[in-house]
Structure 1
Amino acid sequence: MKTSTALLSAALLQALLLQPALAQDEKTALVPLPSIEDFTRGEDGFAFGLGLGIEYEAAYEGSDEFGVEVDPAGAVQWRNDDDIFFWAGEALGWRGLRSDTWLFEAVVGFEEGREEGDSDDGRLDGLGATDEAVEFALQARRAFDADWRYWLDGRLVTSDNGTLGIFGVGRRFGDQMDGTGSELAIVAVYHDSDLANTEFGITPAQSAASGLAETEMSGGFRSIGLNYSYRNYIRENWQIFGEVLYEHFSSDIQDSPIARSDYEAEVGVGFIYIF
C-alpha cells in the first residue's frame, strides 16, 4: 500500500511539473499556422529571422511565361504578449490575437508595377508600365476552436491602383503548436473595376500602340484559388518553408488579351535562420 501511494504521489508530482512546460510549448506561436511567420518562440521582445526563398512563378498577372526568382526571406519582429509588430521586406505591420480564436493584422507595404519588359515574348509591348504604389492590407482570421484546426479568413488590400478582397476557409494539419506543419486553404478573390483595368484592361491608347483589342473590365469575381503552406524545423535554428499557389481566373479575366492563360500558379521553397 505504501509503495502504491508513493508511486501515485510521484506520478502526480511529475504531472504537475510537466504541465507548465506543456502549456508553454502550446503557446509558442501566436497562432499555430505555417502561413503566419512567428520567430519569437513564445517570448516577449525582439526576434529576427533571415533567409532566402526561391520562387517559380508567372512573369506577370495572367502570363503564360514562367521564371525563377530569388528573394530574401525573414523578418524583424517584436512581441508583447499577444501582439507582434514586424518588418518583413518592404512591409511594416502588426498582428494581434484576441480571445484565442481571432487574429487581426494590418500591413503597409509596397506594390510593384508592371513593366513591358516583364514579358520576354513581347506580349506587353505598347501597354506601357503600371504605377508602383503604397499598399494597405487588413486581415481578420476566425478559428472554429483555440487549436486553429479550421479557420475563416477575410482580407482587404487597397492602393491607388484599386482594391482586392479575399475570402477563404482553411484547415491545419499536424498537432504542433509552434507554427510548423502544413495548412491548405481555398479562397475566392474579388476586385474592383480600378484594379481589374489596371491589370487586365486595355485603353484606346494602349490598343493603338500594342495592336491588342481595347478592353474595359468591370469589378466583381476575379478567381478561385488554392493555397498550400508548409513550415518545419530541420535544426534548432533552421526552418524550411514552402508554398504552392493556384488561381483559376473567371471568364471575364480569361477574355482579356492580357490573360494568356486561364490560371496562374506559383511554387516557392526556402530556408530561414532564426537568431
Structure 2
Amino acid sequence: MKNTVLQVATFLGALSCLGSSNAAETRTALVPLPSIGDFTDGDGWGVGLGLGVEYETAYEGSDEFEFEIDPAGGVQWRTGEHIFFWAGEAIGWRTLAKDAWLFQATVGYEEGREEDDSEDGRLDGLGESSSGVILLLEVRRALADDWRYFLDGRVLTGEIGTLGILGAGTCLACEADGTGWEVGAAVTFHDGELANRDFGVNARQSIDSGLPETDVDSGYRSTGVNVNYRNYLNENWQIFGEALYEVYGSDVSDSPISRNDYEAEIGVGFIYVF
C-alpha cells in the first residue's frame, strides 16, 4: 500500500509541476484546505461536476479490493463566510468564524452493507446491514494564520449509530484557492450500535452464516492517516487525489467479519469548475 500511495503522490506532484498560471488565480476558497471543496469565487453560485475512481476495500474489514467510480463535485451557494452545498446524497452548510474556526453540518444517507459486497461469499447469511439518514457535525480549529496546522473533531450520528473522530493535520504548499497537499491523522470511536452493525454477528446471523455469535463493545475503533491533494490544471479543470490507511483496534480486528486488521483506499479524479 505504501508503494502505491507513493506512486500516486509522485504522479500528482508531477501534474502540479505543469503549473496553473491560468488556473483560477482569482478564486478564493473559504479555507485553503484541499479536503474542503469550494467551487465559488466569493459570493454567489459555484458548480463543479466530475468523476473520481477509487480502489478500496469492498466493505469494512474486507480483504477484497475493488474499483469504484463515483460522481464528484457539487452545487454550492456562498454568501460572505457561509456556504450551503449539495453533493451526492448530502446537503449541508459550513461557515468560517474569526478566520480560525470552521463549522460544518451535513445531512446525508448512509447505505448498508449487502451480502453480495463480498464476491468470495464471506458475507453470506449475514443479510443487509441497516441504512439510514445521518447527521455529520464537524469543527476545525486553525493553529496558524494560513491553516498550516489545524485540529479536527467530528461526530457522525443517525439511524446507523454514532461515530466520533478526533484528528489533526497540516496543509503543505496550500494556496488561497484551496489547492495543495493536506496530510492528517485521526482516532475514531464508535458506539455499540454502529460497532455491531459493521462487525457484530447476532444469533440469527450466526445460524445462517456459520460464523460465531459476536458482540462488539463500544469504544475505540481505529487509528488512521489520510492524504488529500487538489490542483487546477487550467482555469476550469481541477484534479484531486486522496489516500487513506486505517488500522483497526483489537475488538474490531478480532471480529469474524474482519478479514483484515486495516482498511485502505486510494483515489483520483477530475472536476470541471464552471
Instruction: Report the TM-score, using the length of structure 2 for normalisation.
Output: 0.90
Superposition CA RMSD, Å: 1.0
Give the paired residue count: 250
- Trace 1:46-57 onto structure 2 (pairs within 5 A): 46-57=45-56
Structure 2 CA distance for aligned equivalents of residues 26 and 257 of structure 1 = 53
State whether residues 174 and 181 of structure 2, in contact with CA within 8 Å, keep that contact through their aligned partners in structure 1.
no
Partner of 1:262: 261
1:70-81 paired onto structure 2 within 5 Å: 70-81=69-80
* 1:59-70 matched pairs, under 5 angstroms: 59-70=58-69
Match of 2:185 in 1: 186
Separation of aligned partners in 2, 1:227 and 1:26: 29
Question: Shift in Å at residue 131 of structure 1?
Answer: 1.8
Q: Distance in 2 between matches of 1:101 and 1:27?
A: 20
Aligned match of 1:6: none
Shift of 1:117: 0.5
Contact kept in structure 2, 1:108 and 1:137, CA below 8 Å: yes
The CA deviation at 1:145 is 2.0
Letter in structure 2 aligned against 1:235: N
| Unmatched 5+ stretches in structure 2 | 1-24
Distance 2:121 2:101 in 1: 46
SS across alignment from 1:235: coil
Read off the aligned partner of 1:243 and give its amino acid letter: E
> Structure 1 unaligned runs (5+)?
1-24
Paired residues for 1:118-267 under 5 Å: 118-267=117-266
Structure 2 CA distance, aligned partners of 1:159 and 1:61?
18
- Select the structure of larger CA radius of gyration: 1
Residue 38 (structure 1) aligned with residue 38 (structure 2): yes
Q: Offset at 1:146?
A: 2.3
Work out whether residues 33 and 174 of structure 2, in 8 Å CA contact, stay in contact via their aligned partners in 1. Answer: no
**Whole-angstrom distance in 2 between the partners of 1:261 and 1:26:** 46
Provide runs of 4+ in structure 1 moved above 2 Å: none
Distance 1:27 1:150 in 2: 22
Identity, % of aligned pairs?
61
Q: Is the 8 A contact 1:26 1:177 kept in 2?
A: no
2: CA distance between counterparts of 1:102 and 1:261?
Answer: 37
